Homo-oligomer: A and B are copies of this chain.
């Protein structure tokens, strides 16, 4: 008198509401799965009500399990309809999913780190001016758009190697260089004047300290130069000098470097 749940003829049938309550899904979700063909009720009553068989319910449990792993409904349909529950396909899918999630986690970590850093600076009361803060944000945005993630990481490593006081000192030296060069721009000092040539040499050396050597370093330097050329406007706004004068300065720098190459 053993009731083997046969291929599909025998056994209980469940209404959509019963299935929903038992599985913790909503009726609407089941409707949706039916619509997209992921899980259709094997039978309908004469009036069109869905009747789910035991097989259907088992399939739903698999769907739900795979959903909690973050798979898309399409991926779930593919693997469930794959030839005889192919374990290899499943393995590949889960591995790919893990890969994607790990990549996502890395980006998330970077984001939270940046947010924490920003909030610290905000809390440090060292930034009382809303406009200055927004401008800092803009600069960060320019910075991020100009370098690849690898280059940014390279720059961060180099800064860490140099240490905070060296970075601070470099900032001060750079400030002096800007002041002096701005005076030369205003005075119309020719681009092949040895004095400005020396100043630009110090400028470039200063920049080099923050780049590593080798082909990667060169590419990073080129990206930095492009950033200055294309975004001197925005970068200038966060500096204590007028943006227009900074643009002129960048153009002047380029002329001095060219004169140096020709003179050599």
Residues of A at the B interface (CB closer than 8 Å) are 3, 22-24, 58, 61-62, 64-66, 68-70, 84-87, 90-91, 94-95, 97-98, 101-102, 104-105, 108-109, 111-112, 114-116, 118-119, 122-123, 130-131, 133-134, 137-138, 140-142, 144-145, 230, 234, 237, 244
Contacts and interface: CB of A to CB of B under 8 A. Distances in A.
A101 to B, nearest CB: 5
A58 B105 CA distance: 31
A111 B3 CA distance: 39
B138 A58 contact: yes
A109 B111 CA distance: 15
A130 B82 CA distance: 12
Contact of A130 (B3, B84, B102, B244): B84
Contacts of A112: 98, 101-102, 105
Contacts of A87: 122, 130, 133
Contacts of A234: 58, 61
Interface centre among A86, A134, A230 (most CB of B within 10 A): A134
B131 A119 contact: no
Contacts of A102: 112
A182 to B, nearest CB: 15
A94 B69 contact: no
Contacts of A3: 244
List the 5 closest A-B pairs by CB distance, nearest first: A65-B141, A85-B130, A65-B137, A61-B138, A98-B115
Given A85-B134, A94-B122, A105 B109 contact: yes
Nearest to A142: B61
A144 B90 contact: no
A109 to B, nearest CB: 7
